[in-house]
Structure 1
Amino acid sequence: MQQLNLPAYDYKLKNSAGTSLIFDAIRRKYVTLTPEEWVRQHFINYLIAYLHYPKSLLAVERGTTYNQLAKRTDLCVYGTHGRPVMLVECKAAQVPISAATVKQASLYNQQVKARYVVLTNGLEHYCWEVDFVTRQYLPLSQIPLFTALENNS
């Protein structure tokens, strides 16, 4: 797998029936190792180990509905109050973060209603704070610590 612009960590890999698997600490099981999953697992580790996000408040591939279509969010961070505070959309490293990617995440967030939206392909990371009154996405220079999310929600 490609080296990412995220801190390295001691991930767990195994093979099963010729398929590479990586351990997902949130779902507590091995999942198929795809380029997108590689990014997601590194980003999860970054949130927990470096930005102090509680593992218990992260949800992977939670279902949501948009225009009567079932969709799955890559990663959702919940506040201690139980409501989503951050939506994270992960792409494989070779997939550029484009206007279409931003649109996809913002459409998902219309249902989730998280105050922060993050897009990452493991090489580039973008974070916005959502102003629901003006319907604007305000770019942030960095991804906030979990304590900042809690203080602003």
Structure 2
Amino acid sequence: MQELNFSKFSFRFKNSENKTLIYDEIRKKFVVLQPEEWVRQHCVQYLMQEKGFPKSLINVEKELKINNLRKRYDIVVFNPDGSIHLIVECKAAKIKIDQSTFDQIARYNLALNATYLMVTNGINHYYCEMDFEAECYHFLQNIPDYSRK
């Protein structure tokens, strides 16, 4: 797999039926290693190891309904009270992040109401903080580290 713009993390791999699988600590199972999954697993490790988010507050690849359409988010980080702190949209490294990517995560956030958004293809990372009153988002240098309030 392609080297990404994240720190070096350790992963568990195995082969099954001529496919490489990577262990997902959040889902507690091996999943097929696709380019987007490679980015997602790096991002999960980044959130836990570098930003300090507890594994128990992170959720991966769950379905949500938006205007009666079924969608799947990549990563959501919850606050201890159950509200949503952060949504992460992951793309494969070869996918260019453009306005449609931000439109996608903004649509998800209409249903989820996260404070922060992150979009990454593993090479480029973009961070935003929502301004619900002005109905827009502001770009940040990074997302804040987890802190117990």
Question: 1:3 Cα shift?
Answer: 0.2
Q: Helix, strand or coil for the counterpart of 1:36?
A: helix
Question: 1:69 Cα shift?
Answer: 0.3
Residue matched to 1:59: 59
Unpaired stretches in structure 1, ≥5 consecutive residues: none
Residue matched to 2:137: 137
Residue matched to 2:26: 26
Unpaired stretches in structure 2, ≥5 consecutive residues: none
Residue matched to 1:69: 69
Question: 1:67 Cα shift?
Answer: 1.5
Say whether 1:124 aligns with 2:139: no
Residue matched to 1:114: 114
Question: 1:27 Cα shift?
Answer: 0.5
Question: 1:143 Cα shift?
Answer: 2.0
- Give TM-score, length-normalised by structure 1: 0.95
Residue matched to 2:14: 14
Q: What is the distance in 1 between the residues matched to 2:65 and 2:115? A: 18
Residue matched to 2:39: 39
Q: What is the distance in 2 between the residues matched to 1:144 and 1:67? A: 31
Q: Which amino acid is the alignment partner of residue 94 of structure 2?
A: Q
What are the superposed Cα offsets for residues 95-116 of structure 1, whole Å, 9 maximum, x if unpaired?
0110010101100110011010
- Give TM-score, length-normalised by structure 2: 0.97
Question: 1:136 Cα shift?
Answer: 1.1
What RMSD over aligned residues (CA atoms) do the two structures have, in Å?
A: 0.9
Residue matched to 1:86: 86
What are the superposed Cα offsets for residues 59-85 of structure 1, whole Å, 9 maximum, x if unpaired?
001211111101111000000111111
Q: Helix, strand or coil for the counterpart of 1:43?
A: helix
Q: What is the distance in 2 between the residues matched to 1:143 and 1:113? A: 16
Q: Which amino acid is the alignment partner of residue 44 of structure 2?
A: I
Q: Helix, strand or coil for the counterpart of 1:146?
A: coil
What are the superposed Cα offsets for residues 30-66 of structure 1, whole Å, 9 maximum, x if unpaired?
0010000000000100110111010000000121111
Question: 1:8 Cα shift?
Answer: 1.0
Kindly tell me the number of residue pairs found equivalent between the two proteins.
Answer: 149
Q: Which amino acid is the alignment partner of residue 101 of structure 1?
A: T
Q: Which amino acid is the alignment partner of residue 92 of structure 1?
A: A
What is the identity percentage for the equivalent residue pairs of Structure 1 and Structure 2? 42
Q: What is the distance in 1 between the residues matched to 2:10 and 2:134? A: 42
